[in-house]
Amino acid sequence: MHDFYKERGLEVPKPAVPQPVPSSKGRSKKVLESVFRIPPELDMSLLLEFIGANEGTGHFKPLEKKFVRVSGEATIGHVEKFLRRKMDLDPTCQVLLQTSIALPVLELVDIICGDHLLERYQTLREIRRAIGDAAMQDGLLVLHYGLVVSPLKIT
């Protein structure tokens, strides 16, 4: 080791001095606990997978984090609102799943779990119970979403 420093014209470092271990006399031991605790009401972990956007959907920002922890009582409507806010979708556009109302060109967010197109009113707990293990991946409920432009126009 000394040769390495001498060959390069560097000062040889001094050996490390062992540091004294602090004494715990007179102190009670503290139990180490996790600093981060997940509230019990946040019992559903989601994996939000983006499956693409059609041309003409406008500007949107992709999600920074695709993992979310929420209450099992949250609905697909709540997930849609979350996606709209996080992706900076145009506020004048409505988020719809299925509707028979004819509206001007809108951005739609479809949310899919497995082969099932999900409705706004469905809770995440209901979806997990109905679809079962096919909806899960490593303990996460996997939801796929995409953006499309509705061809509907006001007549």
Model confidence at 6, pLDDT cuts 50, 70, 90, reads confident
Show the tokens assigned to 136: 């899960």
Show the tokens assigned to 63: 């999600």
Q: What is the pLDDT of residue 134?
A: 81
- Cβ count within 10 A of residue 25: 5
Of the candidates 103, 107, 68, the one whose C-alpha atom is nearest the C-alpha of residue 84 is 107
Q: CA 92, 65, 123, 41: dihedral to nearest 10 degrees?
A: -120
Which residue has 């707990």 as its token pair? Answer: 125
DSSP-derived pairing of the beta strands 44-53 and 67-70: antiparallel
Contact 119, 76 (CB under 8 A): yes
Tally the domains of the chain. 1
**Predicted structure pTM score:** 0.61
Whether 66 is in a domain gets the answer: yes
Q: What is the pLDDT of residue 109?
A: 61
Task: Give dist(CA 146, CA 136) in Å, integer.
Answer: 19
Q: Among residues of the chain, what percentage have pLDDT more than 70?
A: 61
Whether 58 is in a domain gets the answer: yes
Model confidence at 91, pLDDT cuts 50, 70, 90, reads low
Contact 145, 60 (CB under 8 A): no
Q: Which domain holds residue 83?
A: 35-149
Higher pLDDT, 138 or 112: 138
Whether 2 is in a domain gets the answer: no
Q: What is the pLDDT of residues 22-74, one digit of tens each?
A: 665 555 555 556 566 767 777 889 998 887 777 766 777 788 899 999 998 99
Q: What is the pLDDT of residue 150?
A: 58
Task: Give dist(CA 145, CA 130) in Å, integer.
Answer: 19
Higher pLDDT, 94 or 126: 126
Whether 140 is in a domain gets the answer: yes
Show the tokens assigned to 6: 């001498």
CATH of the domain at 106: 3.10.20.90
Whether 10 is in a domain gets the answer: no
- Residue 105 clears pLDDT 60, i.e. is over it: no
Q: What is the pLDDT of residue 67?
A: 92
